[in-house]
Amino acid sequence: MPPDLPTDVAVAPEVIAVVAGAPSRRTFGVGAWLAVGWLVLVIGLALLAPLLPIPKPSEIIDHGALRDAKPSLSHLLGGDDNSYDLFSRIVWGARNSLAVGFFAVAIGGTVGGFLGLIAGYYRGRIETLITAVLDIMLAFPALVLALALTTFLGHSLFYVSLALGIISTPILARITRANTLTWSQREFVTAARAQGAKNRRIIVREVLPNVVPAMASIALLAVAVVIVAEAGLSLLGAGLKVDVPSWGNIITFGRSGLTNGQAPHIVFSGSGAIFFTVLSLNYLGDVVRARFDVKEGALT
C-alpha cells in the first residue's frame, strides 16, 4: 500500500489562512508594550502615592472652590463633588482598587491553585469532592455571592478582598486542575514517580512550574474581573466604605454630576482608569495564554 498521509494538501491553505487571520497576539507587540506601560504607570503611581506632590485625597481644596471643577493644569482631572482633587483620588483609589484586586486574586490563587493541584494530581474521590465544592461555589452568580458576603461580614479592605477572593477561587481552581491533569500524565512525571519521588515533591517540582503560566494568564484576567467587581459592589453600597478612595467609590459619588450634566468628568475619570486597566490586563492575559499555549475552557 502506498503511504496514506492523513491530510491532503487541499485542506492546508484554508487552515493556514485561519491561523493567519487571528489577531497577532502571539508576539509581544506594540499592544503588549502599551499594556505593560499603562500597568507600570498605574502601579507606580499607586505605590508612590504618599510621596507624590499631590494633595491628600481627603483634603478639601480652597474651602470647596474645587467642587465639580473641570480639569485644569493645577488639578489635572479637576475636582469632585467634595472638592477633593480628583487626580489625587484616582491615584489613591488605584492603591485600594489594585490592592483589592491583588489580595483577592492572591487568596483565590492560593486556595484555588491548591485545590486544583490536589484534584488534578490525585484524581479519584478527592477530585470528585473538590469539583463538587467548586460547582457549588459557582452556583451563585459571582457578584451576588460577593455582595452577600460583604453585606453580612463588613466593608473593610480585608472583607471585600476576601469576598472577591472567594469568587475568584473556583475560576483559578478549574484552570489549575485542567492543566495539572494534562501535565501529570507527561513522561517526566511518570519518570519522577518511577524514581521514587514523593508526590508532594513531584507536585511542587515537576507539575507546578508547568501549570504556573496557565494560572498566571487566568490570574491576570481575574484581577481585571475583581477590579470591576469592586466598583460594582461600590455602586450597590456593598463595597469599600464610602470614605475610602477607590475607583468604584469615585464612580459611585460622581453619578450625580453625570446625571445632572454638570460634572461628567468625575465618572469618566474613574471609568477610564478601570477601562484601561482592564483592557491592559485582558490583553496581557491573552498574550501569556498564546505564548504558553494555555488551554482555555475554565473562564467564561
Partner 1 sequence: MGALIGKKVVQLAAVLLVVTFFSFLLIHLLPGDPAATIIPLGTDAQRTQLRKDVGLDKPLVSQYTRWLGKFVRGDFGRYYRQFGGEPVRKRLSQALPVSLQLLVYAEVLALVIAIPLGILAAYRAGTWVDRFLSTGAFASLAIPDFVLALVLIFYLGVKLKWFPVLGYVHFGQSPTEHFKSMFLPAFSLALAQAAVYMRLLRSDMIATLQEDYILMARSQGLPTWRILLRHALRPSSFSLLTVAGISVGTLIGGAIVIEAIFTLPGVGLTIFQAISERQYIAVQACVAVIGCGYVVVNFVVDLLYTALDPRVRHAA
Partner 2 sequence: MRNDAAAVGELLDPVGRSDFDGPLLDVRDLTTHFQTPRGIVRAVDGVSFTLEAGRTLGIVGESGSGKTVLSRSILGLSPRRQLVDPQGQILFEGRDLRPMDEHELREVRGRQISMIFQDPMTALNPVMKVGRQIMESLRVHFDMSKADARERAIDLLGQVGIPSPGVRVDEYPHQLSGGMRQRVMIAIALSCEPKLLIADEPTTALDVTVQAQILDLLGRLQSERNMAVVLISHDLEVVGGRADDIAVMYAGRIVEMGPAAELFKATRMPYTDALLRSVPNIEDPPHTRLLAIGGRPPDLVSPPPGCRFNPRCPRAGFRCGVQEPPLAPDDDNVHHIYRCWYPVGGPTGPEAEAAEARPRRVEH
Nearest approach, Cβ of 22 to partner 2 (angstroms)? 14
Q: Which is nearer to partner 2, 12 or 47 (CB)?
A: 12
121 binds, among partner 2, partner 1, none (CB under 5 to 8 A by kind): none
Site for partner 2, rule CB under 8 A: 1-10, 12-14, 16-17, 20
C-alpha cell at 224: 481585571
Transcribe 39-98 into DSSP letters.
HHHHHHHHHHGGGSSS--TT--GGGGTTTTPPP-SSSTT-B-TTS-BHHHHHHHHHHHHH
Cβ-based burial of 182 (10 A; exposed 0-12, middle 13-18, buried ≥19): middle
Question: Would you give the DSSP letter of residue 233?
Answer: H
Nearest approach, Cβ of 13 to partner 2 (angstroms)? 4
202 binds, among partner 2, partner 1, none (CB under 5 to 8 A by kind): none
Interface positions, 7-46, toward partner 1 (CB under 8 A): 11, 14-15, 17-18, 20-21, 23
Q: Which is nearer to partner 1, 18 or 73 (CB)?
A: 18
83 binds, among partner 1, partner 2, none (CB under 5 to 8 A by kind): none
Nearest approach, Cβ of 250 to partner 1 (angstroms)? 12
C-alpha cell at 133: 465544592
Q: Distance (Å, rounded) from C-alpha 27 to C-alpha 288? A: 10
Interface positions, 225-264, toward partner 1 (CB under 8 A): 228-229, 231-232, 235-238, 251, 255, 258-261, 264
What residues are paired with 79 via a beta bridge? 85
Q: Which is nearer to partner 2, 17 or 139 (CB)?
A: 17
Which H or E element spans position 162?
helix 157-184
Q: Distance (Å, rounded) from C-alpha 74 to C-alpha 96? A: 24
Nearest approach, Cβ of 140 to partner 1 (angstroms)? 5
Q: Which is nearer to partner 1, 3 or 23 (CB)?
A: 23
Cβ burial 201-225 (10 Å sphere, 16+ → b, else e): ebbeebbbebbebbbbbbbbbbbbb
Question: Would you give the DSSP letter of residue 12?
Answer: H
Nearest approach, Cβ of 21 to partner 2 (angstroms)? 10
Instruction: Give the residue, chosen from 29, 44, 50, 154, that forms a contact with partner 1 under the rule CB under 8 A.
Output: 154
3-state helix, strand, coil in the chain (%, to 5): 70, 0, 30
Give the binding range for partner 1 (CB under 8 A) out of 116-124, 170-178, 198-206, 224-232: 224-232
Residue ranges binding partner 1 (CB under 8 A):
11, 14-15, 17-18, 20-21, 23, 135-136, 138-144, 147-149, 151-154, 224, 228-229, 231-232, 235-238, 251, 255, 258-261, 264, 267-268, 271, 274-275, 278-279, 282-283, 300
